[in-house]
Structure 1
Amino acid sequence: MERADIVTLDKRHVWHPYTAMEAYIAETDPLVVVRSEGPYLYDADGRRYLDANGSWWVSTLGHRHPRLVKALVDQASTLAHSALAGITHEPAARLAAELVSVAPGAGRADVPTEHRLNRVFYSDNGSTAVEVAIKMAAQYWAQNGRPQRTRFITLSGAFHGETVGATSVGGVPEFREVFGPLLFDVVHVPAPSEEGGWERAFAEVQRTLREHGDSVAGVILEPVIQGAAGMQIYSPAFVRAVREATRAADTFLIADEVFTGLGRTGARFACDLADVVPDLLCLAKALSGGLLPFGTTLASERVFSGFLGAKSRALYYGHSYCGNPLGAAVAREVLAVYRDEDVPGQVARKAPRVKAAFERMAETIPGLERPRALGMVGAVDLGSGGYFANSGWRVYEAARRRGLYLRPLGNTVYITPALNIPDESLDELLHGVEDSLREVAGR
């Protein structure tokens, strides 16, 4: 099919996510991606683009990693799908055991059995992984003596997904205000990266738990990095302090590691940077290496035990593709590749280069502010204006001309490439971002 025909059909029928469609239809000449390999996308014109954001943070091992493709093909040849309600299959059972073995706190003698993340509930994406955690927390308290616990504490700027429940605990105004009448009540506290530091944010968490703890079902965090808020990085000390406060108040800590989980921050989980074991942990994105939608929610033994007993106490929630054998097989291979190719070691070696490059950009390019980096995340702000600012999109266009696919968050320009990106490709990416920022800032 010719490129022009694809674009015509697309503009006639496709409703794109996070896209102002009137402007898109009238003005946008989109990338038409026909192939991907490693850290690169290839378009219908035969041009190669370095995928600077891992296609929305999912392709942590690059595109079409041969071992992941083989695992997918092999599994498809025997069992492509089976429901998981009251029956099981090998990929789901083995993946659950492997996730438990690498979860925060696994193998630590100082973690009591009731606090271990020993149970795995499958879903099909990050939003539903968070939705599961919300429902687990709410139902646990409803049927274990504290039904008044229905509220959640969340951070300003938080992003936890697109379902109504996940949107409720979100804190990005542009994504939630229009749905206000549909959302349940939450307590928003200042983001720990805002002025005043994490201590100010924690004081609000502590005050809320002290004054209204009997109504709080849990605190939900994106540990250490708030992604959609603009790659806002904050101290692991805040996560530790919140963990201690939730233990004292006897309520739950939910760690949304859909973005940060599996190496993005340099640790296996961002919770590990804080030496924290949450009560519920949400995973997706990297878990299936960008091949399939797949999500999980890990729960502590305490949470799980609150659903035992009469049939009425069960968690009546699920999705048709929960624990899909294809996704489970690929996820197992993702974990194997991380081990065999020492992906954490690769991140440790490359992360200082990312940090140094963004600091250099801010020092040498006028108008850049707040350079920040952690693991394989690098970000800088170009002026003000927030999510609806156009400055980042000018950089997007400049980067596209240089063969980079660089999707901004308003005035925030960032990179989240594959964790195993080859050194020469990382150099290409960092130089391309710098040249693009210099072009736009010099206008």
Structure 2
Amino acid sequence: MQRSEVVALDKRHVWHPYTPMDAYIATTDPLVVVGAEGPYLFDADGTRYLDANGSWWVSTLGHRHPRLVRALTEQAGAFPHTSLAGVTHAPAARLASELVALAPGAGGPGAERLSRVFYSDNGSTAVEVAIKMAAQYWAQNGRPARTRFITLSGAFHGETIGATSVGGVEVFRDVFGPLLFDVVHVPSPAEPAGWERAFAQVEATLRAHPDEIAAVILEPLIQGAAGMHVYAPAFLRAVREATRAVDTFLIADEVFTGLGRTGARFACDLADVVPDLLCLAKALSGGLLPFAATLATERVFCGFGGGSERALYYGHSYCGNPLGAAVAREVLAVYRDEDVLGQVARKAPRVKAAFERMAADIPGVTRPRALGLVGAVDLGGGGYLARAGWRVYEAARRRGLYLRPLGDTVYVAPALNIPDAALDELLAGVEASLREVARAGG
């Protein structure tokens, strides 16, 4: 099929995510991807693009990693799917065992360990599972008034109604306001006022309403979709202690940060924190197919025993899909065999230094921040609907980079195993694109 035919069909029928479709149909010349290899995408016109954002943060081992492709095809040759309701299989069972062995606090006290794994399809559903687990646990274990959640301004936890309810990015949630349940929003710990102000409100809310709060939910250390806002591990530690003081739950949404993005296996590890519930997706299946998991402590799990009416009646058709589980097991093996965390540790200082230099040298570029293999700067301050970042996107595309911004935030989150030469290409291309836009007046 010719490129023009693909674009014509696309504009006639496909409704794209996060896209003003009238402008897209009228003016956008989309990338038409026909192949991918490592950190690169290949367009139908023969152009190679460096995937600066890991195709929405999922391709942490690059595209078409041969070991992941082999794991997928071998499992497909055995059996591609079965329900996990009253059925099990080796990929799901073995993956669960491996995840709990790697989870924060592995080897700690039994009831506080993340020892149970509930599978689902994507980051939103992983969070939805955690919300329902927390709410149902308290409903049937003597604290039925615990139905509210504390969440952070700027939080993003997914697209389902529950996940949207606990989100804090207004542009993603305001239109759905009448459908959302009430939550307690506190300031972001990444705001200039500092994490102490945010924590004071968390602590005050927990102390004032200990019988109402089911959980505090947060993205550990990096608020991704809000603009890659990085905050101090001290905030995460303080929140964990505050939730323990009133005996309520902490939900760690590691959909973005989990499995190496911050330089640690989990962002919670950088704060030495063990949550009650932990959500995983994105990196878990290395960008090959949708797959997610919600890890729970033994205490949470035991709160659902005692009769069929107390079970967690929740699930999706593809829960524990054997293709996803087989690929996820191979992802963990590649991380170990290729020392992926070590690769991140070696490359992270280069990312940090590059973004600090861009902010220091380029007019209008502000707020450099970096953690692990995430680097970001801002242009102006117009938020998610600002257009400045899209001018950088166009400049980067002309240089062979696929660099999708978050409004006026320009950021990179490439494959964790990106080769050194490709990382140099990426950082140089981002800097050149920012300079071009700055010369043109933003």
| Alignment TM class, shorter chain as reference | over 0.9
The Cα of 1:275 is off from its aligned counterpart by 0.0
Q: How does 1:304-383 map to 2 (within 5 A)?
A: 304-383=301-380
TM-score by length of 2: 0.99
Which residue, 208, 212, 230 being the options, matches 2:209?
212
| In structure 1, distance between residues paired with 2:180 and 2:363 | 41
- Alignment of 1:386 with 2:383, yes or no, is yes
Task: Show the 5 A alignment for 1:196-345.
Answer: 196-345=193-342
| Letter of the 2:185 counterpart | H
Could you tell me the percent identity over the aligned residues? 82
Does the alignment pair 1:409 with 2:406? yes
Give the one of 430, 439, 442 matched to 1:442. Answer: 439
- Deviation, structure 1 residue 383: 1.0
Count of residue correspondences? 440
Distance 1:20 1:213 in 2: 42
1:18 aligns with 2:18: yes
CA distances 1:218-271 after superposition (whole Å, capped 9, x unpaired): 000100000001000000100000000000010000000000000000000000
CA–CA distance in structure 2, aligned partners of residues 220 and 112 of structure 1: 22
The equivalent residue for 2:180 is 183
User: By how many angstroms is 1:430 displaced?
Assistant: 0.2
1:131 aligns with 2:128: yes
What residue identity is the alignment partner of 1:27? T
The CA deviation string for residues 80-121 of structure 1, in whole angstroms up to 9 with x for no partner, is: 0010001100000000000000000012xxx32111000000
Distance 1:53 1:265 in 2: 14
> For residue 31 of structure 2, what is the aligned residue in structure 1?
31
Which letter does structure 1 place at the counterpart of 2:237? Answer: R
TM-score by length of 1: 0.99
Partner amino acid for 2:380?
G
2:75 partner letter: Q
Provide the rounded CA distance (Å) in 2 between the counterparts of 1:385 and 1:261: 29
Write the distance in 2 (CA, Å) between the matches of 1:401 and 1:314. 54
Q: Tell me the equivalent position of 1:59.
A: 59
Letter in 2 for 1:411: D
CA deviations 1:371-421 (Å, max 9, x no partner) are: 000000000001121101100000000000000000000000000000000
SS class of match (1:387): coil
Q: Hey, what's the Cα distance between the residues in 2 that align with 1:257 and 1:319?
A: 20
- Could you list the runs of 5+ residues in structure 1 that have no partner in the other structure? none
CA deviation after TM superposition for structure 1 residue 195, in Å: 2.3
Per-residue CA deviation, residues 39-73 of structure 1 (Å, 9 max, x unaligned), is: 00000001100000000000000001000000000
**1:18 match: secondary structure:** coil
2:239 and 2:38 mapped to 1: Cα distance? 38
Paired amino acid for 2:54: G
Counterpart of 1:57, as a letter, is W
Aligned residue for 1:386, secondary structure, equals: coil
Matching residue's letter, 1:113: G
Over the aligned positions, Cα root-mean-square deviation in angstroms equals 0.4
Deviations 1:295-327 (A, max 9, x none): 000000000000011100000000000000000
- Segments of structure 2 that go 5 or more residues without pairing to the other structure are none
The one-letter code of the counterpart of 1:312 is E
State the partner residue of 1:4: 4
